[in-house]
Amino acid sequence: MSKSCFRRTTCRLCESAELDLALQLQPMPIADGFVPAALKDEPQESFPLDLFLCRACGHAQLLDVVDPEILYRSYLYTTSTSLGLDQHYKQYAADLVAVAKPPPGGLVIELGSNDGTLLRCFQAHGLRTLGIDPAREVARGATERGVETLPEYFTTELARCLRRERGPADIICANNVIANIDQVGDAFDGVKELLAPEGVFVFETGYQLPIIQNLLFETIYHEHLDYHSVKPMQAFCQRHGLRLFAAKHIPTKGGSLRGLVCHASSARATDNSVAELIRLETEAGIHTLAAHHAYGARIEKLKQDLLTLLRDLRRQGKTLAAFGAANAVTTLTHHFEIGEFISFVVDDNPKKQGTFSPGCHTPVLPMQALYERKPDYVLVLAWRFLEPFQKKNQAFLDQGGHFIVPLPELRMI
């Protein structure tokens, strides 16, 4: 195993060693490993991408852990570049303030706060905020724009220090971050340490139920160590002196889980949403190997169907570009083994333009390249953004171009 990656031997939630391989994807570089032109001829290290299932608690997870210093210190992604997320966060903040009822000027802390997009929504409610994010440049930029952000990893030790210096937090948020922490037990102990007696900790994370039901396998990559569901999470919270008192399946990022957590001793009641989602998970069998093996078979069929189509187009002499330079696209490209067919990738994110894709080193260009280079087909790898992409580029279709959408079923536009 590489020095920059190690394989753990126990479940991240319950510490059981009863772990079974549930889904094996192609090894690949880190998903956000887009490289500048100066490095495009240098090979990038690939790491295993194997999903395991815990027989003891039903939790799905990666056991191969890439050094977080590689993943996060020079992180490129910023929240504000995600379509529709700013509006989602405004509603999120309003909903959470209504539930938590923090006092005027109460403290909100966000773990993995990125560029401060969510915390600015809480500032609009008159609350004090503090962000914690290990990506140094992103944290510095957020602080300069008025959202104080510590460039640190969240640990129990840091939580104790913050409580001494700033007092308890009325609200703690962790959005799309608890799945990224190998020592997640220590992080939840830190939450318990920092949370006010009747405070609320809320997390949003990828949800294994829609990941399986809607074939969202491209959301599996090395940053995402865990693929959470309510049943194992409820037991995990209990082991750390906390209680999952509400849970909701939300549409963000193709399907996410929002969990609301309080101290085990809190007066807050646990509503029936927790039991209802556990019931749905059990009916879908997502805590079983059988469901994951069937999931893998569906993915394999889509892969072979797409490869057949692309090989046929290549025989016809057709040219192919792709849309999407997001992390999920890296998984899709590598597991479907389609990098060789793509001449260039277009993306609206200026930070990705001029770079080369992880492993395949395909150039990433501005959207205008579709009209300058005129490929016959565009493979919509960022397929969850098909609607806004098509709206912006209807002219490409009107001029005789075609879109290929690979998921959740292969189709042509």
Segments making up each domain of the chain, as ranges: 79-285, 290-412
Residue 77 pLDDT class (50, 70, 90 cuts): low
Residues 338, 310 contacting (CB under 8 angstroms): yes
- Among 78-82, 188-192, 297-301, name the one with the lowest average pLDDT: 78-82
Pick the residue with more confidence: 359 or 252?
359
Same fold, 79-285 and 290-412: yes
Give pLDDT, residue 410.
95
Residue 73 pLDDT class (50, 70, 90 cuts): low
Q: Is the per-residue pLDDT at 80 higher than 70?
A: no
pLDDT digits (tens, 9 = 90+) for 249-283: 998 877 899 999 999 999 999 999 999 999 999 99
Question: Thinking of the domain 79-285, which architecture would CATH place it in?
Answer: 3-Layer(aba) Sandwich (3.40)
Q: What percent of the chain has pLDDT over 70?
A: 96
Residue 107, both tokens: 């403290």
Q: What percent of the chain has pLDDT over 90?
A: 88
Residue 58 pLDDT class (50, 70, 90 cuts): very high
Give pLDDT, residue 69.
76
Give pLDDT, residue 3.
74
Give pLDDT, residue 84.
59
Give pLDDT, residue 70.
76
Backbone angles phi, psi at 20, to 5 degrees: -120, 140
- The three-point CA angle 17-153-219 to 5° equals 60
Averaged pLDDT for residues 49-74? 89
Average per-residue pLDDT in the chain? 93
Cα dihedral sign, 71-76-80-83: negative
For the whole model, what pTM was predicted? Answer: 0.91
Query: Distance (Å, rounded) from C-alpha 339 to C-alpha 96?
Result: 42
Residues 116, 98 contacting (CB under 8 angstroms): no
pLDDT digits (tens, 9 = 90+) for 30-53: 999 999 999 999 999 999 999 999
**Homologous superfamily of 290-412:** NAD(P)-binding Rossmann-like Domain (3.40.50.720)
Give pLDDT, residue 388.
94
Give pLDDT, residue 353.
95
Averaged pLDDT for residues 334-358? 96
